[in-house]
Structure 1
Amino acid sequence: MSTHSEIKRITTHTLQELKRKGEKIACLTSYDYSMAKIVDGAGVEVILVGDSASNVMAGHETTLPITVDNMIYHAQAVVKAVSRALVVVDLPFGSYQGNSEEALRSAIRIMKESGGHAVKLEGGIEVKESIVRILSAGIPVMGHLGLTPQSIYKFGTYAVRAKEEEEAAQLIENAKMLDEVGCFGVVLEKIPADLAKRVTESVSIPTIGIGAGPHCDGQILVVHDMLGINKEFSPRFLRRYADLHSIMTDAVRNYTKDVKSSDFPNEKESY
């Protein structure tokens, strides 16, 4: 019997169950078919098609330039590869802020054209109307609080958020609001660990941390950072599980050397 039939598809309900049982949720980003196949096969519960594709795939300095069309392209590729994980797709900057009709249109397009399972958007009370509207169409929504990279120009920095009690209280209020309106989870980015613990205990939905300490219900990292493909980015919260940058560089160098010395292709590698 193929092991494939034993693979239970992860749903938003599964994540709720994991939180209830106290079992941590593993999440990673992916942006293309080949990478997503590996990530899904290795057993993570959630794959986020993040607007971080703007940085790691397209080389932009911020996440702001990426479009809904770009996100659909990346999400289509990921969905084709995935047989188990829940695929969550970021709504990019400008596709949901300030206009709940536009937010719904963006979310519907992403769901219809990519086949993704849910969308994620940044912000609290200021995007409540958009969230409610998307949820009313039956589309699962994940929230995102703390450092919200799409607001980089407002904050002017990627520093830790909510260190002051006032901002911390606001963040907890926003998390409760996301829970109450029906989001299935919330990403907490770069906030103090004790605040993340308070949030995690005060909402019924799973919290997924990135730079938010060990008390969240799950963790997420950008896959290129975690695999050590990127060398430039070294925040405190990042643990590199491989040094693919060195491995890939060596492989390309050796290939180049072998081509130049006529070592590749040899007789066995020729027809």
Structure 2
Amino acid sequence: MKPLVQLLHFGYHQAMSCIFPVAIFGTLALSNVVQVPFIPRYDAILLVLLGVQYLMYRSGLETLDEIKVICLFHLIGLALELYKVNMGSWSYPEPAYMKLFGVPLYSGFMYASVASFMCQVWRRLRMDMTGWPGFLPSMLLGGAIYLNFFTHHFIADFRWWLTGLVLIVFWKTRIIYRVRSTTYRMPLTLAFILVGFFIWLAENISTFFNAWKYPDQHQAWRLVSFSKISSWFLLVIISVIIVAQLKYVKANRTANRS
């Protein structure tokens, strides 16, 4: 009986942590069949997501610190979107007023939703980590991964070398999470893979509802390439590194004040 209770509690906290990602997919699906008068679809999505963030903050589902992290990821994601769209990796074919160099401003929220999930699940499951490699190795690796998303258009793609480095740098790192009074542990690299896979599934849902299109999806929708899982795997690593470092910085400040 206890394993079932634990599973239900774990599932509840996971579901609550996914409120913002679910809001994004729900908005994409609804806006694909319901057109708001006088407002382009991409602009309507942006307004809805801004409203969801406001309501989550006002209701206490998200803290001010978490909002700051989400804004940071929105900017990181928007910068990547601007580059990738103008390199022809994918496109946003529908018109919009709130569009910057062909990229609708709502697109950054798709990256920010990963940060929202990370922040929420960290707080709800009272997460911590053991064997964290430290600020310099983790930030250098995260920076190299992010840079590779830009440079592989001009030089060799180092994603598999970077993946190998991830396995080495985070080999001893374990996530500690708590469900009720029981503490569990999981290898961090396994968490990277699982989250990357589920984001790939979400990406298939997003492209199906015309959130964006890859070049091979313009004639008809097709499954997103499995190679994208590796991209999301690496992007999740950047998310975890930034969230973890910010959590440690805050914890150290709180300790110093006390």
Give the TM-score normalised by structure 1: 0.28
Give the TM-score normalised by structure 2: 0.29
> Which has the bigger relative contact order, CA under 8 A and spacing at least 6?
2
Larger helix share, 1 or 2: 2
Larger strand share, 1 or 2: 1
